Structures are given as structure tokens and as C-alpha cells.
A = this chain, B = another copy of it.
């Protein structure tokens, strides 16, 4: 139905093989020993990716990327999502990908030189510092972090958490209130770049998430900004444009995430089918012959097919008509695909029995960590309420 060019087909095929041959073999070590343990080997893999000409698939060619459309990158994201290490190897992982995007769009020449270029080259990592423990993430205008001007600096004070990948990052993009009394509450905050070696920045802890503190890129930090002073030239975009810019990264980010979730689903489905055929319930009779398992296989396949089309359709809509036209779709795919992901993972785990609980497959890792898919970027419920209100408004 969707036209996939021969060139894109080739890219996807190469990526698929790369994931299978180069990255999946690293999974066991990553699951057992963490990100830092595999980082050196990932550096080599990144060199191979560059050599293959597939580095930065989502980034415009002018900045050294492949310049794929959102639709095409959606398909890429699904391929890479089949392993937890896929996006990182191609330098299109969150939160760096989002930061690259807004730096390209809104960065000054100096910001691009200082922050964007090393990021694009894969020399440094970055993070995005928005959510605060004291306020519901689903209502971002409730925010306590402030940035006050003094001389030609901003002085930032605040407390954030789920600043993912802060551990070892070179800089953060920080959301802070710059105009607390602005009539339009969406115009109160700004995005400001903060190098993490600035005095006053404190990485309080890598939050233990589902039993794991994680490390390096694979971590979620609680951080504090104690009178952190940065030059005003580190303001990203206009003052007060913090939410507008954050909004902007949501659309493409949503496609990336949803297709990544579908990549996870494909892999889990694959593992489930393989194991069902292999595992004998009684001699000569495998799990695959059970009607219940068969029903799960069919239901997962149907849900995954429908969800994939829905996300790709949204990507095409954004590509052609822009984010605003697709804003309902962007909300709908969030919760719908997160639900599909969870159901597929749950069933894949169940088919594996005791093995499914272990880290001998990546299913348990996704089961626990991707539970967050229904929470991050706004809990499902908030998306449901907001899209429904827009729909219902059409009936009044």
C-alpha cells in the first residue's frame, strides 16, 4: 500500500542484517552488565554504520544525515527497535535525536558549532531536562524550575527527574520558567542549554527504575540546578518559546517511539513464535499446537499490522500536511501503540514461561522498562482525554 522505494528497501535490509549480525550479539552483555560494559564495542559498531553510509538516518543531508522523510525514518525506527541498542548504534536515539532536531531548527550558529556538531559526530551525548518530581508530568505548565537573568547570564534553579541519559552527557536542554507571570501560561518557560560541567549542576542519582539504576545512556537521572549560571546566548530559540519548541519535537518523536515499539513487538512476536514451535508440552506436541497460543499469535499479528499502518499513515500526514493537521493522530497513536506493545510483550513473556522471566531473552527487559511507554510523553489517559475533547468539540 505504501510505496517503499527500492533505495529505502535496500537501507532497511542492510539495517536489518546489521541488527541481527552486529547488535543482537551484544544484547546479553548489555542486559547483564549495562551500557558502559558494551560502550566500547558500540563505538566500533558506530564506525561500521558510518562506513555503511547509514549514520544519522533522520538528519538532513546538509548536516551529514540521510535526510529520510518521517515515513522512511519510521520504517528505520522499526528495524532498529528490534534490539535495545539499535537506535544508539545509528545515532538516532532519544533524547539526542530530539535535541539534534531542535538545535538544527532553532540553534544559533554558535550553538550549532558548540553543541550540535559534536552530537552529530557522536562524540558526546546530551539530555533533556523537563519533568519535575513535584508536578504531574502530564501538565507541563506546572513547573518550579526558574531561570533568572543577571548581567548577560541566566541563573537556573530547580529540581528535575527523568532527565534520561544525563549520566555522562555533555549538556542538557533545560526547561525553565523565564516569565512566571505571563498571561499565556504556555509562554512562561524557555529552553536553555546547560553544559553539565557547569558549577551548580548536581546529578543527585540515577533513579532506580524497575530495579536498575542503569548507567550512561541507559539511565534516568534525578538532577538539581543550584544557581547554575550560563550565558544568555545559550537560550534556545526565543524566550518564552519553551513549550512551543517542546511541542515541535513531539510529532516526529512520537513516530520514532511508536515505530520503535512496533520493532520491539516484531522481535517479541518472532521470539514467541519460534519458542512456541520449539517447546514441547508433551513429547511431539509443541506449544504451537495449542489453540490458546494460536489465538494469541493471530491477535498479536492483527494488532501489530493495524497499528503499523496507523503510525505510518500519521507519518505521511506529518510529512505532507504538517504536525498541526495530524495532531489528533499523534495523540491516538501514542496510547494505541503503547497498548499493542504491552499486550504483545505480555503474551510473548507468557509463552516463554519461566524463561520469559529471565534476562536470557530481551523480553523481560522490555516488559519492565517499556511499561513506561504508557507513561512518558504524557500518560495514555491524558492523551485520551485531550483528543476526545477535540473530537467532541466538533459535536457541540
Q: Which residues of A contact B (CB under 8 A)?
A: 1-2, 31-32, 131, 133, 135-139, 142, 161-162, 207-212, 273-274, 276-277, 279-283, 287-288, 290-299, 301-303, 305-307, 309-310, 312-313, 316-317, 328-329, 331-333, 335-336, 349-350, 353-360, 364-365, 367-368, 371-372, 374-376, 379-381, 383-385, 387-389, 391-392, 394-396
Contacts and interface: CB of A to CB of B under 8 A. Distances in A.
Contacts of A350: 374-375, 379-381
Given A210-B368, A309-B313, 19 more contacts: A1-B312, A136-B353, A138-B281, A208-B359, A209-B357, A211-B212, A273-B394, A288-B396, A294-B389, A295-B381, A295-B388, A298-B335, A298-B388, A301-B387, A302-B332, A305-B313, A306-B309, A356-B375, A367-B371
Contact of A136 (B281, B301, B359, B376): B281
A307 B306 contact: yes
A142 B283 contact: yes
Contacts of A138: 281, 353
Given A298-B385, A385-B294, A375 B392 contact: no
Contact of A359 (B209, B306, B313, B364): B209
Contacts of A333: 302
Assembly stoichiometry (copies): 4
A51 to B, nearest CB: 33
Contact of A353 (B295, B305, B379): B379
A301 B336 CA distance: 10
B309 A354 contact: no
A280 B32 contact: no
Given A131-B354, A208-B32, A375-B356, A297 B139 contact: no
B282 A139 contact: yes
A396 B282 CA distance: 17
Contact of A282 (B142, B279, B332, B364): B142
B357 A210 contact: yes
B354 A375 contact: yes
B387 A298 contact: yes
Given A131-B354, A353-B137, A384 B298 contact: yes
A305 B337 CA distance: 12
Contact of A368 (B355, B368, B380, B394): B368
Contact of A364 (B209, B281, B317): B209
Nearest to A328: B301
Contacts of A331: 298
B395 A277 contact: yes
A319 to B, nearest CB: 10
A55 B27 CA distance: 45
Given A353-B136, A381-B290, A392 B276 contact: yes
A131 B138 CA distance: 39
B371 A357 contact: yes
A303 B353 CA distance: 24
Most buried by B among A161, A274, A295, A317: A295
B305 A332 contact: yes
Contacts of A280: 135-136, 142
B365 A368 contact: no
24 contacts: A136-B353, A142-B282, A161-B354, A207-B358, A208-B359, A210-B367, A211-B365, A288-B392, A288-B395, A292-B381, A292-B384, A294-B385, A296-B388, A297-B384, A298-B335, A299-B384, A301-B332, A301-B388, A305-B313, A305-B332, A306-B306, A354-B376, A357-B371, A357-B372
